[in-house]
Amino acid sequence: MNMIKKYIKDHKKLIIFSLFLIVFVAGCSSPRNADGTVDKEQLIFLSTPYLKSIGDGWFNIFVWPMAQMINWVATFSDAGVGIIVTTIIVNVITAAFTIKQQAQTQKMQMIQGEQAKIQAKYEGKTDQASKMRMSQELQMLYKKHDINPMGSIVTLFIQLPIMIGIYQACMRASSVYTGSFFGIDLTMTPQAAIGEMEIPVIVIFLLMAVMQFVSFKIPQILAKRRNEKNRKIKKYAQPEKKGMAGNMNMMMYVSVAMMVFLGFSWPLGMTFYLLVSSCVRVIQNIVIDKFFIKD
């Protein structure tokens, strides 16, 4: 039992992230029939009333506005531009509510060395008094840097319905089903594109995979650069590499692998959304690092 408790404590973030990923994937049901064709009854047109959409399921509270935004922008250009504009707007709105939590997440990466020093100080001490002192010192460290350790979890819960909603919007917007992006069919899957040698589709899929990795890696790079700039990296940070840093890397690799695996059989419209959103996250992390994190 103690081993189980220790494992849960050491891998708490990884476990929470895994549950989050499972819920996200479960919510990302595709509006397609068993034979792979699109279920046209689930498509959202510009003429689809809001109340009718809500009647098909409560989650359409999130889906309908985003699908209609894609459809509306597509009337002036094409579905691909609609996805780009909608993704940027949704990310900006989400950032307004989560930017403090995201900044704290990046700060957590910056203080890994100081955390490791405190944990090393009490390593091997299992008495209750030592555990309480370690907990108090960690809380003082978080307070010093204005960090809420649960902030990243709050961010996940805020972003989860938005992520599922925009996924469904990209899959159900009629403009995506009937439209294209500079002549590229947004309903084609990368899997089918390989067989038909549709190079533009394959290129977009590969770019999505690369940018997904970059978007997860960039916070670590920014934190390392800031630590080196401030000369805060110490030898005592090394023991933490197998703990927190190892968990973060595992989360990153699992997430990227999952997105690539799912994206291989998803219509290009969704792959295109993942590409755009990962580019937006990279820019967002750079902005947070520059303007919202003080040395």
Return the pLDDT at 103: 72
* pLDDT band per the 50, 70, 90 thresholds, residue 20: low
Span 56-64, average pLDDT: 76
Return the pLDDT at 137: 86
34 burial type by CB count under 10 A (0-12 exposed, 13-18 middle, 19+ buried): exposed
pTM over 0.85: no
Helix (H, G, I), strand (E, B) or coil at 184: strand
Among 130-144, 151-165, 256-270, the least confident range: 151-165
Q: Within 10 A of 213 (CB to CB), how many other CB atoms are there?
A: 18
- Give Cα separations from 290 to 103, 112, 226, 286 (angstroms): 10, 20, 10, 6
Among 15-24, 46-55, 254-263, the least confident range: 15-24
Closest Cα to residue 102, out of 165, 162, 147, 164? Answer: 147
Among 12-16, 93-97, 189-193, 258-262, the least confident range: 12-16
Asked whether 44 and 63 are in contact (CB, 8 A), the reply is yes
Among 50-64, 148-162, 247-261, 278-292, the least confident range: 148-162
Q: Where are the domains of the chain?
A: 2-28+62-291
**Percent of all residues in the chain with a pLDDT value above 90, rounded to a whole number:** 20
Which residue carries 């819920």 as its tokens?
A: 23
Q: Kindly give the residue spans of alpha helices, DSSP state H, lying in 75-149.
A: 79-110, 112-121, 128-144
Residue 43 has pLDDT above 90, yes or no: no
Return the pLDDT at 8: 47
Q: From start to end of the chain, where are the E strands?
A: 180-181, 184-185
Span 112-124, average pLDDT: 81
Residue 115 has pLDDT above 90, yes or no: no
Backbone dihedral angles phi then psi of residue 173, each to the nearest 5 degrees: -65, 125
Q: Which distant-in-sequence residues (6+ apart) come within 8 Å of 217 by Cβ?
A: 252
Return the pLDDT at 231: 63
Is the Cα torsion angle 224, 225, 226, 231 positive or negative in sign?
positive
